Amino acid sequence: MEHDLGYLMRTNQSLTFSQQLRTVIRLSIPTILAMISETVMQYIDSAMVGSLGAEASASIGLVASSTWLVGNLIMACAYGFSVQIAQATGAGNRKAAGSIFRQSILISLFFSCFLSVICIFLAPNIPVWLKADPAIHRNAAAYFLIYALFLPVREIYNLFLSSLQCTGNMKTPSMLGILCCLSDVIFNFFLIFPTRILSIGNLSFTIPGAGLGVAGAALGTALSYVFAGLFLTYAVCIRSEILSLRNPGSWRIRKETLASASKISVPMALEHSALTIAQVVSTSIVAPLGTISLAANSFAVTAESFCYLPGYGIAAAATTLVGQAIGAKRADLAKNFAWLTTGVGMAVMTLSGIAMYFLCPYVFSFLTPVREVQDLGVRVLRIELLAEPMFAASIVATGALRGAGDTLIPGILNLISMWGVRIALALALVPRLGLSGVWIAMCIELNVRGILFLIRLARGKWLTAAMARDESL
């Protein structure tokens, strides 16, 4: 299907609205299903840690914003190359796509190893800088340290996943994403808890366990990336028709490839850094409110992922479709796919937000046995759910714009929205409203962000610039 679509684009054949919509849905569904399975696994993962108590959950919640910062940096690096792969695929230039992929492996390994060393040295200080309760410092630092040690694995996993998606293959990355989540739960089952006796009726079984607690959760996740990454490496480097390393190709790093990657990655990296620093600031605002508020905030973010992860799945399809349309010099299809994916994303996340509004009490009772955390988590999450349609618009429109190589202006819009609206409002509201003030600020900011991205999409300057760049190559 992917190769047929590329052929239709390059030969200037028309695609009806229904064909375009079916293409969007067909590419989105595998990734959405993978995202949903990932969300379920996150719930199970959080419930495992939550069973250890509020302090264990707060330890992970404390460093979550820091892991997002680092994770976004390595994702920015991966997208700098995968977007080029999408455009080369759309142009029918498999040789160029393979060459870009080889270069991306070398550069990504160097970058992630460098970043890993920095994070290892910073790990002990992060809980202190975030002004958290000293009782959770040790577990929080251990979690971040293990995360840092496995950064190169995560980088290669993300690179291979996004590269394969940008060739039009959504099914394989989705299946491997599910495998990664399932293996995460299995590893955590044995690493978080100590050896214990499991009784079923009259039968008793001894379940071995490492009893590592919070550190076990970090290690289990890391090992799941290693395990699923082995299969992903085979799928990309051996089985992929376009990216296989068995195809002829050069490993030489080319200036034009690096320059194009920088134009995409650097604005993304700066944007995500500033955004996640804002998340860190937000966490530092929540941390002094106490362990209950910090745990409730962490679980609310986890619960909300049920709503927004499908949006990121559709955004991945948007990046692929817009990128390939740009490569095929089809401005009409690039514009149509950008709006179609955004519309589908808004519809899906609106429905998931409505469902979560009614289901969140049951979700929180599954995630944690602490009643105070449950009640506070439900209250703040329901505030933010009002922003899901516009949150979807910002997520999917970002993916569409990324496919066109437009990352600078979206980054600026995100920064204005996050720092000018969310952080400013949170600082003003928290003294009077506590944790609810943080989530009211988030709800308002996400609506503002969605409107800004819809305006960016409607003005069309991103498309004009993308086609001009493509013509100059």
Mean pLDDT throughout 313-336?
85
What pLDDT digit, counting tens, does each position of 252-300 carry?
989 888 888 888 888 877 777 777 677 777 777 887 888 788 788 878 8
What pLDDT digit, counting tens, does each position of 99-133 carry?
999 999 999 999 999 999 999 999 998 888 877 77
- The structure tokens listed for 286 are 């929540």
Q: What are the CA-CA distances from residue 305 to residues 38, 309, 349 (Å)?
A: 9, 5, 10
pLDDT surpasses 60 at 2: no
The reported pLDDT for the residue numbered 98 is 92
CA distance 240 to 231: 12
What's the pLDDT band for 226 if we cut at 50, 70, 90?
very high
Mean pLDDT throughout 177-196?
86
Give residue 198's region: left, alpha or beta (phi > 0; psi -120 to 50): beta
Longest Cα–Cα distance of the chain, Å, equals 74
The reported pLDDT for the residue numbered 1 is 42
Q: What are the CA-CA distances from residue 194 to residues 208, 211, 222 (Å)?
A: 7, 4, 19
CA distance 443 to 422: 8
pLDDT surpasses 80 at 424: yes
CA distance 93 to 281: 44
User: Which residues have a Cβ under 8 Å from the Cβ of 14 and sit 6 or more positions away?
Assistant: none
What pLDDT digit, counting tens, does each position of 49-72 carry?
767 777 777 777 778 777 877 887
Closest among 418, 397, 422 to 407, alpha carbons compared:
397
- The structure tokens listed for 6 are 């590329």
CA distance 352 to 389: 10
Q: What are the CA-CA distances from residue 223 to residues 60, 171, 218, 264 (Å)?
A: 17, 23, 9, 30
